[in-house]
Amino acid sequence: MTARTAREEILADIKRALHREGKLDPVRGVASTSTQLGDLVSEIRRTCELRRAELVRQFEAELTRIGGRFHRAAKVESAFEYIEQVASVREARTVVAWDGQIIDGIDLSGRLGEKGIELLTEATSSEFIRRTATADLGVSGVDYALADTGTLVLLARKGQARSISLLPPVHIAVMKPEQVLSGLSDLFPLLRGKAEAEGRDLSSAITFITGPSRTADIELTLVVGVHGPQQLHVVLLDC
């Protein structure tokens, strides 16, 4: 598949997903009425639940194909140990992370502190953006993951700055199996449904992450990590 073809397919998926007509989209179906949207959201959730194991396998395959690294944690302790291992290999001294508990039951700040690693969040640092630019690792959760492309979807909100996944040379994302969707045609109806339920417009502050950062010059020489993380690690909390 050429880059142009892939781009056209992605744009077509977005166009279908954002369809605003009164009838349902023929591919997945995005409705303009609240009732239709609610039915569609229920259908998507039911289908993804039935296909959960398949979607997780597909996500893992696509993520590793594009250069990402995947770790399945059967216990929360295994998830922390993986983060600790990556930090140790990188000789990390500073980690930036989302506010709140990224791994349930694990005090990430305290545990990393025992290893001499400082963990910063928006809530704990008044110079968060500046410190993020020089941090060794960024650790975040995810809002959704797309199985068909191995893509992570992060919604920016207070305590969940986009810079965490963009500025440090290594990004570790922690996710759960129920966050995996088949693709964009599942994602946008869920985003619209959530926005309507909260009485707000669909947010434009959405980050799509597909593998480590890649940049090509005019001679098509590919370089990893110039405009974003050199490494992307995804930890699946399968517990």
Q: What is the pLDDT of residues 192-239, one digit of tens each?
A: 888 887 777 776 688 999 988 554 444 444 444 444 589 999 999 998
Q: Give me the chain's average pLDDT, please.
A: 84
pLDDT of residue 10: 57
pLDDT of residue 5: 54
Average pLDDT of span 57-85: 96
| Residue 43 clears pLDDT 80, i.e. is over it | yes
Distance between CA 82 and CA 102 in Å, rounded? 14
Q: Which residues of 175-188 are buried (b: 16+ CB within 10 A; e: fewer)?
A: bebebbbbbbbbbb
Distance between CA 4 and CA 152 in Å, rounded? 21
| Residue 124 clears pLDDT 90, i.e. is over it | no
Residues 155, 143 contacting (CB under 8 angstroms):
yes
pLDDT of residue 196: 80
- What is the chain's alpha carbon radius of gyration, rounded to the nearest angstrom? 19
pTM confidence score: 0.81
pLDDT confidence tier of residue 14, bands split at 50, 70 and 90: low
| Residue 18 clears pLDDT 90, i.e. is over it | no
pLDDT confidence tier of residue 30, bands split at 50, 70 and 90: very low
Residues 192, 30 contacting (CB under 8 angstroms):
yes
Nearest to 204, CA basis, from 149, 142, 157: 157
pLDDT confidence tier of residue 32, bands split at 50, 70 and 90: low
pLDDT of residue 15: 57
pLDDT of residue 33: 66
Beta bridge partners of 152: 145, 209
Average pLDDT of span 166-185: 96
Distance between CA 239 and CA 233 in Å, rounded? 18
The dihedrals phi and psi of 41, each to the nearest 5 degrees, come to -60, -45
pLDDT of residue 227: 44
pLDDT of residue 215: 47
Q: What does DSSP say about strands 94-97 and 144-146: parallel, antiparallel, or unpaired?
A: unpaired
Tokens in use for 36?
């239709």
